[in-house]
Chains A and B, each alone.
Chain A
Amino acid sequence: MRETKYWTWHMAAGVVILFLLGVHMVTMHLGGITHWFAPAGGEAISQANILFRDGRLFFTVTYILLLGVALYHGLYGLRTILFELTLKPAVEKAISFVLLVVGLGLFGLGTWAAITVHTIAIAGIRG
């Protein structure tokens, strides 16, 4: 039944990603049409617009949430594909371990970065 748990949360994570990554994609790639969260004008990925978003708690929180959820969804998906190759149980265990370490490592890196840029942006706003 462990797999039922993993798979259920894989589906749930997919639904969360649909909304969060949907907003992310529209902000980043359809900025020329929607002009969402880009008060400085120009490209959504310009430094000024990034500083604006990094200074909002909403973005910091949703970035960390999306990071964790997407890492889980993506790495479980990769594990599913690899496990369908009839591997030896020891290899399967090793893969699970490596994916867990990679996932936690990148989650740590991303969370640290999101919080750091938030403090930098806040300091910048306060001058």
Chain B
Amino acid sequence: MPEDSKTVRQIKFHVTRYNPESDGAPYVKTYTIPVREGMTVLDGLHYIKDNVDSTLAWRYSCRMGVCGSCGMLLNGQPTLACNTQILHIAKTDLTVAPLPNFDIIRDLVPDLLSMFDKHRSLKPYVVRADEAEINDPAGEFYQSPEELEAYLQFTYCIKCGCCMAACPTLATDARYLGPMPLAAAERYNVDTRDDGRRQRNQQTGSAHGAFRCHYAGECSRVCPKGVDPAKAIQLLKRKLVLDYLHLARRKKPCQKLHGPGQGKPLPNIPAGPAKTV
């Protein structure tokens, strides 16, 4: 923030505070800070920590909407603190709370482990019978651009947990897998290199799996990356039902094409310049 940009307004930050060593329950503390144009909520929290109260704790890293660390409940909506400008969402008051549906570790720091455990349980990686090729690849798998598009949207997930905080089912059902892990499962299920859908079906089709989603749509509404987990879950459900009814087409995962540099170039493509090294 340049030094000469003017303070536009004083904004009251109502921040949830919780210290596990001294507080029985979270409480709200209010800080009034000068806000300049273009200032993000993350900048506001830094201002508080630098100038008002150095004990405030929150989690952040990249400050540009990539790492997914600073998911928070801003004015009741789960979103990234770094991606949200204060003056876009607040006139005089701004409530800053930790993401709900997760335990609070301290102040604005949620414990995301419950989400990562569920994520891991769904095998969010390419599962294939030829494990040797995965661990020590000797060639490349062919995948067309259309096949890539079938899952590309779901790869943009940054695991910030905003969808989990917005989900009504997770508000009561602690065992529900949740939008992020289920979208990740769908991402690998439709990957043509993957052969693990039937293994994942055991979890995604379980009592606390995909069928606990009733399409309230909040996950897709709050996702800061446009991943649309609700869409992923509905597509996942369709495959679960088709698999149960034995109507899904059995497709082999795509096969290894050739080793690096051994491929046949397309005609009409001129040869590259001679190697210099």
Contacts and interface: CB of A to CB of B under 8 A. Distances in A.
Interface of A: 1-5, 7-8, 11, 80, 83-86
Nearest to B171: A84
Contacts of B169: 84
Contacts of B243: 4
Nearest to B211: A7
Contact of B207 (A8, A11, A83, A85): A83
B199 to A, nearest CB: 12
Interface residues of B, number: 20
In the complex, the 6 A-B pairs of residues with the closest C-beta atoms, listed nearest first: A4-B205, A84-B173, A7-B211, A4-B244, A86-B174, A3-B207
Interface string B231-245: 000000100110111
B172 A3 contact: no
29 contacts: A1-B201, A1-B205, A3-B205, A3-B206, A3-B207, A3-B211, A4-B201, A4-B211, A4-B240, A4-B243, A4-B244, A5-B244, A7-B211, A7-B237, A8-B241, A8-B244, A8-B245, A11-B241, A80-B211, A80-B212, A83-B173, A83-B207, A83-B212, A84-B172, A84-B173, A86-B172, A86-B173, A86-B174, A86-B175
Contact of A3 (B173, B175, B209): B209
Contacts of B244: 1, 4-5, 8
Given A4-B211, A4-B240, A85-B172, 10 more contacts: A2-B207, A3-B207, A4-B241, A4-B243, A7-B211, A7-B237, A11-B241, A83-B212, A84-B172, A85-B173
Nearest to A11: B241
A61 to B, nearest CB: 26
Contacts of B174: 86
A69 B91 CA distance: 53
B202 to A, nearest CB: 7
Q: Is chain A's interface secondary structure helix, strand, loop, or mixed overall? A: helix
Nearest to A3: B207
A28 B222 CA distance: 44
B151 interface: no
Contacts of A11: 241
Contacts of B18: none
B176 interface: yes
Nearest to B201: A1
A4 B207 CA distance: 8
A8 B172 CA distance: 23
A85 B172 CA distance: 5
A85 B202 CA distance: 22
Contacts of B205: 1, 3-4
Contacts of A1: 201-202, 205-206, 244
Contacts of B176: 84
B158 to A, nearest CB: 27
A4 B169 CA distance: 18
A11 B234 CA distance: 13
A83 B241 CA distance: 21
Interface in B24-41: none
Interface string B158-185: 0000000000010011111000000000
A80 B237 CA distance: 16
Contacts of A8: 241, 244-245
